[in-house]
């Protein structure tokens, strides 16, 4: 087994140079989730492998912590102070090819893909039920490759966009025929879209057959969630290809139509809603955790907060007052309560104390507010199928549930009469902060990133601007050594 471990750095993935993928049940972690090389012979085994993909997604090296913090630690409003040695090199854009953040997340995402591929490949009797599970696997595979592209792809570097180097797209779990190479970002986009379209088709058929019941099964990918994720991914690619804007609008419209009883979180329940262990009323999709099944000291709660429940508190608000962002002149914004002074003695700083305050909180993967904001942004950017009246309505549903003016004891919800891009960007930042969107939004809006970890480094200047090669994570050295795929420009 040691020899095999030298050959492979991704479960079922790597060969040498442009040679081939090989696979086996490499370790105890892998065998917990898929049954080695054994084919899936029943719907029960299909579900078990699919559940394995979801379980891998909750890992601290994936959605359980790291991939969310990668975005927040490089956001315009937050950074890691490196208080306990966590994520400081991410905020400083100082990752090296041997650092665990780049290596472990790369590995975990490809392991997730392996589980999804196992489900997709299963040679079972064709049925709407089996296809419904395969539909979830197709969407997971698409989302996982999208996550790889946005972290490791060079689309932001030197204006290369879709022509830049992306990532290898893995479509087989165990094969001697699948060559390993880095696709372009455009090729990645096309493969991701193909998987999404197949997944959505299967999920739609399953929904129409009654497999989703009277309400969405929000702890797994459902039809509405798949469409919402499609709108997210299309919005990402639209910054390089404006023709994708119409897909953003179409997918968002369909997701909102299919959302069932999912509603914008009301102002009165906003703060308490994020403290619950259960699924929120505004969620289309969450990854389930529990009191016993959570990341504990590797959780988002630990990295965000210090408080009485314990925590490291590395990620904090940039040195500025909350009022500088949530101007009281604009009204009383409930979201300002997400950020408070947290810690004891010399550890006190402004931190996120409103979201992920419980270790066992589910991972909020997709909210209806995000889907609405995707629609608004694509419409503002010129999507031919967007409707400005509908976009305004979505903006007002959200801002009216967050911001009020108070006069003579009477609360009046804030409302827009028209929308400017600045309004949308401001609302989205305040709505989605600390949920893993800060960096990607800043890149799409071509905003530079500045924080104390950057300004303390004389070699970096005052900020990291769009186009800088450091915007892409390094391909792990262990991967380069084995597969010989090309390294990103900043790390050669």
- The tens digit of pLDDT for each residue in 434-453 reads 999 999 999 999 999 999 99
Give the burial string for 415-434 (b: 16+ CB within 10 Å, else e). ebeebeeeebbebbbbbbbb
User: Is there a domain that residue 457 lies in?
Assistant: yes
Residue 23 confidence (pLDDT) above 50: no
pLDDT tens figures, 159-173: 999 999 999 999 998
Residue 109 confidence (pLDDT) above 80: yes
Residue 27 confidence (pLDDT) above 80: no
Residue 77 confidence (pLDDT) above 90: yes
The pLDDT of residue 4: 32
Q: Which is more confident, 246 or 1?
A: 246
The pLDDT of residue 291: 64
The pLDDT of residue 19: 31
Q: Which is more confident, 371 or 408?
A: 371
33: domain CATH number is: 1.25.40.390
pLDDT band of 308, cuts 50, 70, 90: low
Sign of the Cα pseudo-torsion (288, 294, 295, 299, in order): positive
Lowest-pLDDT range, 289-298, 434-443, 475-484? 289-298
Q: Which is more confident, 36 or 56?
A: 56
Residue 18 confidence (pLDDT) above 50: no
Cβ(22)–Cβ(29) under 8 Å?
no
The pLDDT of residue 118: 94
The pLDDT of residue 149: 98
CA 46-52-57 angle, to 5 degrees, is 135
Residue 272 confidence (pLDDT) above 70: yes
* Largest CA-CA distance found in the chain, in angstroms, rounded: 75
If one counts the domains in the chain, the total is: 1
- Residue 458, number of CB atoms within 10 A of its CB: 6
**Average pLDDT value over all residues in the chain:** 89
User: Is there a domain that residue 431 lies in?
Assistant: yes
Q: Please give the average per-residue pLDDT across 317-336, as a whole number.
A: 91
3-state helix, strand, coil in the chain (%, to 5): 50, 10, 45
pLDDT tens figures, 40-56: 999 999 999 999 999 99
User: Is there a domain that residue 2 lies in?
Assistant: no
Q: Look at residues 253, 256, 232, 234 and name the one whose alpha carbon lies nearest to residue 245.
A: 234
User: Is there a domain that residue 1 lies in?
Assistant: no
Q: Can you give the pTM of this predicted structure?
A: 0.92
CA 460 to chain centre: 27
Q: Please give the average per-residue pLDDT across 345-357, as a whole number.
A: 89
Residue 476 confidence (pLDDT) above 50: yes
The pLDDT of residue 275: 84
The pLDDT of residue 215: 62
Q: How far apart are CA 411 and CA 404, in angstroms?
A: 6
Q: How many residues does the chain have?
A: 492
Which stretches does DSSP call E strand in 157-278? none
The pLDDT of residue 163: 98
Sign of the Cα pseudo-torsion (147, 152, 156, 162, in order): negative
Domain containing 371: what range? Answer: 7-491
pLDDT band of 25, cuts 50, 70, 90: very low
The pLDDT of residue 2: 33
Q: How far apart are CA 72 and CA 75, in angstroms?
A: 5
Residue 417 confidence (pLDDT) above 60: yes
End-to-end CA separation in angstroms for the chain: 31
User: Is there a domain that residue 98 lies in?
Assistant: yes
Cβ(197)–Cβ(265) under 8 Å?
no
Q: Please give the average per-residue pLDDT across 246-264, as a whole number.
A: 96
Residue 34 confidence (pLDDT) above 90: no
Q: Please give the average per-residue pLDDT across 193-209, as a whole number.
A: 97
Residue 20 confidence (pLDDT) above 50: no
């Amino acid at each position: 087994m040691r020899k095999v471990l030298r050959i492979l750095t991704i479960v079922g993935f790597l060969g040498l140079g442009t040679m081939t993928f090989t696979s086996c049940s490499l370790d105890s972690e892998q065998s917990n989730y898929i049954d080695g090389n054994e084919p899936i012979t029943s719907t029960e085994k299909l579900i078990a492998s699919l559940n394995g993909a979801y379980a891998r997604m909750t890992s601290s090296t994936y959605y359980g912590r790291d991939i969310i913090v990668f975005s927040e630690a490089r956001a315009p409003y937050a950074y890691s102070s490196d208080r306990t040695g966590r994520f400081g090199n991410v905020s400083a854009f100082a990752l090296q090819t041997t650092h665990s953040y780049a290596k472990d997340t790369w590995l975990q995402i490809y392991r997730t893909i392996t589980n999804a591929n196992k489900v997709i490949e299963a040679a079972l009797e064709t049925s709407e039920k089996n296809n419904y599970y395969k539909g979830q696997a197709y969407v997971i595979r698409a989302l996982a490759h999208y996550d790889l592209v946005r972290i490791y792809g060079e689309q932001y570097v030197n204006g290369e966009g879709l022509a830049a180097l992306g990532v290898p797209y893995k479509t087989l779990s165990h094969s001697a025929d699948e060559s390993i190479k880095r696709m372009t970002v455009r090729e990645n986009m096309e493969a991701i879209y193909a998987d999404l379209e197949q997944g959505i088709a299967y999920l739609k058929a399953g929904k129409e057959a009654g497999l989703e019941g009277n309400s969405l099964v929000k702890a797994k990918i459902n039809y509405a969630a798949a469409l919402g994720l499609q709108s997210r991914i299309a919005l990402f690619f639209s910054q390089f290809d404006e023709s994708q804007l119409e897909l953003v609008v179409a997918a968002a419209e369909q997701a909102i139509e299919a959302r069932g009883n999912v509603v914008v979180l009301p102002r009165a329940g906003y703060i308490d809603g994020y403290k619950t262990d259960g699924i929120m009323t505004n969620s289309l999709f969450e990854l389930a955790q529990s009191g016993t099944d959570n990341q504990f000291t590797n959780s988002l709660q630990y990295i965000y907060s210090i408080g009485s429940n314990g925590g490291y508190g590395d990620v904090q608000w940039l040195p500025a007052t909350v009022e500088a962002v949530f101007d009281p002149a604009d009204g009383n914004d409930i979201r300002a309560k997400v950020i408070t002074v947290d810690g004891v003695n010399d550890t006190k700083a402004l931190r996120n104390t409103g979201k992920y305050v419980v270790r066992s909180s589910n991972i909020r993967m997709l909210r209806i507010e995000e889907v609405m904001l995707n629609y608004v942004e694509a419409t503002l950017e010129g999507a031919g199928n967007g409707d400005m009246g509908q976009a305004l309505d979505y903006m007002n549903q959200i801002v009216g549930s967050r911001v009020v003016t108070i006069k003579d004891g009477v609360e009046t919800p804030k409302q827009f009469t028209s929308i400017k891009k600045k309004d949308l960007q401001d609302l989205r930042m305040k709505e989605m902060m600390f949920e893993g969107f800060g960096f990607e939004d800043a890149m799409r809006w071509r905003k530079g990133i500045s924080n104390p970890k950057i300004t303390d480094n004389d070699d970096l200047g005052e900020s990291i601007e769009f186009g800088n090669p450091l915007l892409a994570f390094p391909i792990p050295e262990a991967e380069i050594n084995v597969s010989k795929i090309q390294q990103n420009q900043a790390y050669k």
